[in-house]
Amino acid sequence: MISGNENLIQIAETYPEIISELEKQGLGNYFKKENLQKIGKFLRLHTVLSSSNIDPDLFIKSLNKQIANEVSLEIDRSSLDFSAMLPCGLRNPFKEFCESHFQKFPDQFNDLNILIEGNVNHELSYYPLLDSIEDVDELPDVIMASDINNFFHKPFVEKFIEKGAFETYQPYELNSYLEKVQYFDPKGYYTMYTANMLVMVVDEVKLGNRKIPEQWSDLLLPEFENSIIMRGEDDFFCNAVLLPFFKDGGLDAIRAFAKNIVKGMHPAEMIKSANNKYGGEAAVYVMPWFFSKRIKNENVKVVWPKDGAIASPVFLLVKKGKAKEKEALLRFLMSKETGDLLCDRYFPAIHPECKNDHLKEEVKWLGWDFLRSYDIGSLKDDIRTAFMEVWTKK
């Protein structure tokens, strides 16, 4: 994803497909060969946009959407042995860790076609395509994905999950941290791998005289109107947060929560806001535990709610009959070494020898009864409609 801190040579070399968009904004001269050689190394994209009276944040967001859509169309996922769509805090270290391991054992991994990406790239592009896939051969043999996405939607569940196209890969007795909330699929289709743990981050300067929220239902109180930031943007907000509110309080809870949301942000943007010692853009941020560890503001308190941090799932789908063929890959993914990497990034590990003492005890998980009692795709549409009825009026 483009941040804006890249210099123009980096943009030209890494994202040549967006230069036409920059030319439309009158910035084509910067990308002519002779100019790139002279100044491209020193000029950053954010600076060029600002100096041309172009809103850098809005324009870069537009570029990233274009890149995400083009990537999703160009990748032939049916040719992949393993694809992973991971939370932002995990993607880069996991990718580097995998690549390092694969290079050490070329005889086991050289023939594997692998793609590791950030989950946010595909929430609005690749995942919706899953509803239309008709043949399981169109999918990689091993899939890792994040959040309550289209892999849980009725079309995919009926065509593939319920017909036994996937099976759990479980080589050992599971770590008790997530098992205590019955996180693992009792029907043995999804291999539950880890979870992105979501917590509350409270800016006490912006909070003022209000009481610090202690549990998730506190965020529905009227005193938090226009005081909360969660992951999202203009027309998309995080399902991992909204679904637990619906489970506990129905659509009324969704409407109350929408009234209290002031804006949506990526967690990295939340960090920047929360680190403002004079008070950021919200009293409360809902963000991953990993990102909360990067806040250095003494006026900010991280709250692990009494009813538990929300466990946004990260799971594996292993095609039935493919576990033996992909055993080296699966054993690596489920190893203690990989589990230790998860712990280092503040994610829970399921390996029994990993210590999850970087996490607090309480966990809030939707549960398999809930996930299998609803048409999840249709429910998410209903939740989004109820949320947007309030949000768009604001």
Q: What is the CATH number of the domain that holds 290?
A: 3.40.190.10
pLDDT digits (tens, 9 = 90+) for 92-132: 899 999 999 999 998 888 888 888 887 655 555 567 778 88
Given the structure tokens 């999703």, which residue do they identify?
72
Task: Answer whether residue 374 is part of any domain.
Answer: no
Rounded Cα gap, residues 114 and 390, in angstroms? 42
146 and 120 fall within a common domain: yes
Boundary of a domain, candidates 52, 67, 82: 67
Boundary of a domain, candidates 41, 67, 93: 67
pLDDT at 72 over 70: no
Rounded Cα gap, residues 215 and 211, in angstroms? 12
99 and 182 fall within a common domain: yes
295 and 206 fall within a common domain: yes
pLDDT at 297 over 60: yes
pLDDT at 173 over 70: yes
21 and 44 fall within a common domain: yes
Structural domain boundaries enclosing 179: 72-195+312-366
Phi then psi for residue 144, to 5 deg, are -115, 130
Give the residue among 273, 286, 288, 261 at the shortest CA–CA distance from 119.
Answer: 288
Task: Answer whether residue 372 is part of any domain.
Answer: no
pLDDT digits (tens, 9 = 90+) for 241-254: 999 999 999 999 99
Q: Which residue has the higher pLDDT, 117 or 380?
A: 380
Side-chain-side CA neighbours of 201 within 13 Å: the count stands at 32
Side-chain-side CA neighbours of 301 within 13 Å: the count stands at 13
109 and 81 fall within a common domain: yes
Task: Answer whether residue 371 is part of any domain.
Answer: no
Task: Answer whether residue 378 is part of any domain.
Answer: no
101 and 131 fall within a common domain: yes
Confidence of residue 202 (pLDDT cuts 50, 70, 90): very high
Q: What is the pLDDT of residue 50?
A: 83
- What's this model's pTM, rounded to 2 decimal places? 0.80
**H or E segment to which residue 318 belongs:** strand 309-319
Q: What is the pLDDT of residue 36?
A: 84
Task: Answer whether residue 373 is part of any domain.
Answer: no
190 and 332 fall within a common domain: yes
Boundary of a domain, candidates 67, 89, 105: 67
Q: pLDDT > 70: what percent of the chain?
A: 94
80 and 187 fall within a common domain: yes
Structural domain count, the chain: 3
Quote the tokens at residue 196: 């992105």
Confidence of residue 198 (pLDDT cuts 50, 70, 90): very high
274 and 388 fall within a common domain: yes
**H or E segment to which residue 197 belongs:** strand 191-203
Residues 6+ apart with CB under 8 A from 147: 119, 123, 196, 238, 239, 240, 312, 313
Q: What is the pLDDT of residue 28?
A: 86
Confidence of residue 229 (pLDDT cuts 50, 70, 90): very high
273 and 350 fall within a common domain: no
pLDDT at 26 over 60: yes
Task: Answer whether residue 360 is part of any domain.
Answer: yes
pLDDT at 78 over 60: no
Q: What is the pLDDT of residue 73?
A: 46
The runs of H, that is alpha helices, within 288-335 are 289-292, 327-333
pLDDT mean over 1-24 = 84
Whether residue 119 contacts residue 60, with contact meaning beta carbons closer than 8 Å, is answered with no
Give the residue among 59, 115, 389 at the shortest CA–CA distance from 256.
Answer: 389
- 3 state SS of 194: strand
Phi then psi for residue 46, to 5 deg, are -60, -40
Q: What is the pLDDT of residue 70?
A: 59
- 3 state SS of 296: coil
Rounded Cα gap, residues 316 and 214, in angstroms? 32
Confidence of residue 195 (pLDDT cuts 50, 70, 90): very high
191 and 325 fall within a common domain: yes
Provide the angle, in degrees to the nearest 10, between the axes of the packed helices 336-344 and 88-104.
150
pLDDT mean over 42-67 = 83
61 and 132 fall within a common domain: no
Residues 6+ apart with CB under 8 A from 280: 203, 206, 273, 274
pLDDT mean over 332-352 = 97
Task: Answer whether residue 359 is part of any domain.
Answer: yes
pLDDT mean over 157-161 = 96
Rounded Cα gap, residues 289 and 347, in angstroms? 8
Q: 65-69, 194-198, 215-219 — which is least confidently predicted?
A: 65-69
Rounded Cα gap, residues 282 and 94, in angstroms? 31
Buried b (16+ CB within 10 A) or exposed e, 285-318: bbbbbbbbeebebebbeebbbeebbbbbbbbbbb
Q: pLDDT > 90: what percent of the chain?
A: 66
Q: Rounded mean pLDDT of the chain?
A: 90
